[in-house]
Amino acid sequence: MTIRTCLTLVCLLSPVLARAQQANVNLDFNPQKNTEKLIPFSAPLNSPEVHDDRTVTFRLRAPAAKEVRLVGVAILTALGRTNQPAAFTKGDGGIWTLTVGPLRPDMYAYHLNVDGVQMADPNNTCAAFTAMPPYSQLVVHGDGPAYYDARNVPHGTVTRHVYHSEVTRGERELYVYTPPGYDRTKTYPVLYLVGGSGELPSNWVYDGRVSFIMDNLLAEKKAVPMVIAIPNNQVVHRNNPKHTELTFKLFEAELRQHVIPLVEREYSVRRDPKSRALSGLSMGGRHTMFVGFNSLDLFASFGVLSAGDVDAEKSVARFLNDPDANKKIDYLFLGQGTEEAAGRMGERCIALHKALEAHNITHEYYVGGYGGHDWATWRHLLYNRFLPNLWRKD
């Protein structure tokens, strides 16, 4: 991949009857293609602008800045520049520009670093609200909607619940997806899906696109209709020095006392372990291990995404040495991205895989896609492996 800097003159042309750059009128698969030659509302410049050759131009007006760089694990991994920020060039009017690519069609999180200060792109309307400072989203489009985009198919419903928790002593939120044609006279299996260290429940909807992925899989007849509950697995401050010591017991209590009872009270779901699954990414994958593997009275299917433990032989010894583990488990999936599997981040996932193999516990281990430890990987794992195989006997 190549990186080049260029000076881009920004001009406004007469509007035409077409979708605009970041118009936010439709749920477009190509929101950052500059069709109308208009700038986003309240922004001074177009940034990012995705060209037909899938190169991308970033722009920032910062006359007093001395250095502007493109940063972020997802975007730099895609560019083959892990930990190597890309520098902008300053041009007339204090406009800094950078063109990168071409990039594969996907969604990439990124930041700008201006004189040492990390910030979201002030010209980009696609920003992520998370449990971390916000980042910007780059959407590189292909020839049509991707598997994670809104397509012209039947859509399910996402409902936000707010409830009081005695575990965390406050008000909390929970998102629930019901499939298109949800019928309360029927009962559905339910997947409890959780995020990573910096994620909120809404991130599985907006960054993970789980509702659109599920809609598309159902339209393609590749998955079983299910309810998906997305609780908040932030139960103690992530920087608390006792986070590891506290989080697993607290999250298990939250699931047992509040999350599962709420879902089973409000939705027509089955109430046996064989009909419940627990899955999560990164920290959520460790919640799946350390809570789920110790809660076989609740769950029989698991998806551990980009997680594991280099000391798995000790940390999940009870589970590994359970002589009836294979009888209790319906489906155990362990997956990570190609880029992260090749690096240090992937070692814990590989260690868990080897421990499961050593104890003859039936599971699927999968490495795929082209992403690292980012949403490109987690969307890929969900669509290509985990959801299609969940509650499938064939």
Condensed to tens digits (0 to 9), the pLDDT of residues 167-183 reads 999 999 999 999 999 99
CB 293 within 8 A of CB 319: yes
Q: Which CATH architecture does the domain made up of 2-140 adopt? A: Sandwich (2.60)
Poorest-confidence range of 20-34, 137-151, 193-207?
A: 20-34
The residue ranges of every structural domain in the chain are 2-140, 157-389
**Residue corresponding to tokens 């516990």:** 361
Q: pLDDT band for position 115 (50/70/90)?
A: very high
Tell me if domain 2-140 and domain 157-389 are identical in fold.
no
- CATH no., domain 157-389: 3.40.50.1820
Does residue 265 carry a pLDDT above 90?
yes
Collect all residues with Cβ–Cβ distance below 8 Å to 324 and sequence separation of at least 6: none
DSSP reduced 3-state for 333: strand
Q: pLDDT band for position 288 (50/70/90)?
A: very high
Q: pLDDT band for position 393 (50/70/90)?
A: low
Residue among 96, 58, 148 nearest 371 (CA): 148
Q: pLDDT band for position 344 (50/70/90)?
A: confident
Condensed to tens digits (0 to 9), the pLDDT of residues 311-330 reads 999 999 999 999 999 999 99
**Residue corresponding to tokens 């599985």:** 204
Condensed to tens digits (0 to 9), the pLDDT of residues 22-47 reads 878 888 999 989 888 888 888 889 99
Write the single-letter amino acid at 209. R
Write the single-letter amino acid at 208. G
pLDDT for the residue 146: 96
Write the single-letter amino acid at 36. E
92 C-beta neighbours (distance < 10 Å), count: 7
85 DSSP 8-state letter = P
pTM of the model: 0.91
Per-residue pLDDT averaged across 117-144, rounded? 92
Tokens of 185: 């006279």
Cis bond upstream, residue 388 (ω within 30): no
pLDDT for the residue 42: 85
Residue among 98, 133, 139 nearest 376 (CA): 139
Q: pLDDT band for position 345 (50/70/90)?
A: confident
Q: pLDDT band for position 5 (50/70/90)?
A: very low
30 DSSP 8-state letter = -
